[in-house]
Structure 1
Amino acid sequence: MTDAPEPPAPHPDRLTDREVQVLRLIADGLHNAEIAIALRIGEATVKTHINNTFAKINARNRADAVRYAYQRGLAEPLG
């Protein structure tokens, strides 16, 4: 008998995989244009993901978003 792989843990607050990726890059200090390049998407799409993420996590700014990411274990401080 083999163990079935565990399904991935759901992200908090109904965040999508892409929103978590964007949040992690924000926590790494990247600007929207840098996030767009890293994810190979348009900058307008990055802004949409950020707006959706901020609404879901009740963040008013990037500092709130970074704090959220650290507290939920979605990102770790660099260094």
Structure 2
Amino acid sequence: MKKEIITLDEFQKEFEELIKRYVPRRRRDKLISKYESLINTLAIEGEKVLVQPYFEKLKGIGDVNLYALRLEKKNPKRTM
């Protein structure tokens, strides 16, 4: 069964507004480009890209396979 990426039309506008508000000007274009690249890669390659460090499976949501997309690689777990 083919999986589907679901997005809201309003999200792109809200995302860009958040970037403009909270991200230094010199990093904005890079983050927007990174987001677009990750979404396109996911659309083309499918689930196999979910192992990349930019994706994180959310826990505590039952049987649903829901992932977060991070624009920066998640930090490796630190051991103490």
TM-score normalised by the chain length of structure 2? 0.28
Comparing both structures, which one devotes a greater share of its residues to helix?
A: 1
Return the structure number with greater relative CO, CA threshold 8 A, min gap 6.
Answer: 1
